Amino acid sequence: MEVTAPQKEHVDIAIVTVTADRLDEACLASVRRLIDATPLTVKFVLVDNDSTAFNAHALVNRFVPEAIVILRDRNVGFGRSCNRGAREVDADYYFFLNPDTRVDDGELLLKLAVFMKSTPRVGIAAPKILYPDERLQETCRRFPAWFTPIAQRTSLMSPKKITAHRAAFLMEDFGHHKPRMVDWVQGSAFMMDAALFHEIGGFDDRYFLYYEDVDLCRSAWVRGRPVYYVPAAVLYHAYGKASAAGTGTWNRLLRNRTTRIHIESWLKYTLKWLGQKI
């Protein structure tokens, strides 16, 4: 007798969070509030990349017992883990959320979903993100030039040119108080049309970490699906630049594995998109 696999429950939004020895209880409490506050149907999926600092399943169960928790036996990277989590739920939208965030606004998901539904062709919508001390994080950006990491990490350019390039890249000329189309948004928190996500094939899993968010946004733009910054939706993120740890460029390159991963991802991105225009 043929056995048919059970149908997955369809939901409005699937929240996908990836962990690797980093999962704040404040984030889980936020997810609980979001699920309870919104009129939308929401599923929470957590993909844990072999964390040893905590028991991911037990920790998540304290706050969101109905969550889907996927435990992996090694760290396979951010994008690949997001793709794995997204496969668990049939949803209209995916909301990718870092494990060191906190959402105080119970209507955040609703605000982003309403924006997605009411804005023609939108592919990705991202909230305003603040540091815990209320300072703005510059998470909407212009596409990087091939030399952007060099300008950010070395003194090979004049200080004046470095400052100007950095300001343009981080969109410091934009007041961050009104919605607008942007080139790309940081992967710490954003909502994406699920059909577009699957059409693209999800995150390019050749990136272990870094540039997978730039790449995904660029892939959306290539398909005529713009990326938006939506400051009416706000969350908090305890952001740390792990790849900038260490003293001196060459010291970081030789001693900081995260810096080397960042450089590898930059090279993959540059070679993939070299000469291609949107």
Range of the domain at 116: 10-142+175-240
How far is 221 from 224, CA to CA, in rounded Å? Answer: 5
Q: If DSSP states are collapsed to H, E and C, what string results for 183-237?
A: CEECCCEEEEEHHHHHHHCCCCCCCCCCCHHHHHHHHHHHCCCCEEEEEEEEEEE
Instruction: Give the HSE-up count for residue 149: Cα atoms under 13 Å, Cβ half-sphere.
Output: 18
Structure tokens at 249: 């460029």
- pLDDT per residue as tens digits for the range 166-178: 777 778 888 899 9
The answer as to whether 209 is a domain residue is yes
The answer as to whether 148 is a domain residue is no
The residue type found at 203 is F
What's the whole-model pTM score?
A: 0.88
Q: What is the CA angle 131-205-269, rounded to 5?
A: 75
pLDDT for the residue 243? 43
The answer as to whether 38 is a domain residue is yes
How far is 182 from 226, CA to CA, in rounded Å? Answer: 8
The answer as to whether 152 is a domain residue is no
Please provide the average confidence, as pLDDT, over all residues in the chain.
89
The answer as to whether 271 is a domain residue is no
Structure tokens at 62: 């304290």
Backbone angles phi, psi at 118, to 5 degrees: -100, -5
Cross-strand bridge partners of residue 140: 185
Helices (H) and strands (E) in the chain, counts: 10, 11
- pLDDT per residue as tens digits for the range 41-90: 999 999 999 999 999 999 999 999 999 999 999 999 999 999 999 999 99
Structure tokens at 144: 């990087």
The answer as to whether 196 is a domain residue is yes
What is the mean predicted confidence (pLDDT) over 2-16?
Answer: 72
Q: Domain total for the chain?
A: 1
H helix runs in 51-153, sequence order: 56-63, 78-86, 108-118, 148-153
Structure tokens at 230: 């939506």
The answer as to whether 257 is a domain residue is no
Mode of pairing for the β-strands spanning 227-237 and 180-182: antiparallel
- pLDDT per residue as tens digits for the range 128-142: 999 999 999 999 999
CATH, residue 101? 3.90.550.10
- pLDDT per residue as tens digits for the range 202-212: 999 999 999 99
* Cα 234 from chain centre: 15
Rounded to whole angstroms, the maximal C-alpha distance in the chain is 73
The answer as to whether 259 is a domain residue is no
Write the CA distances from 246 to 81, 109, 208, 266, integer angstroms.
28, 37, 21, 19
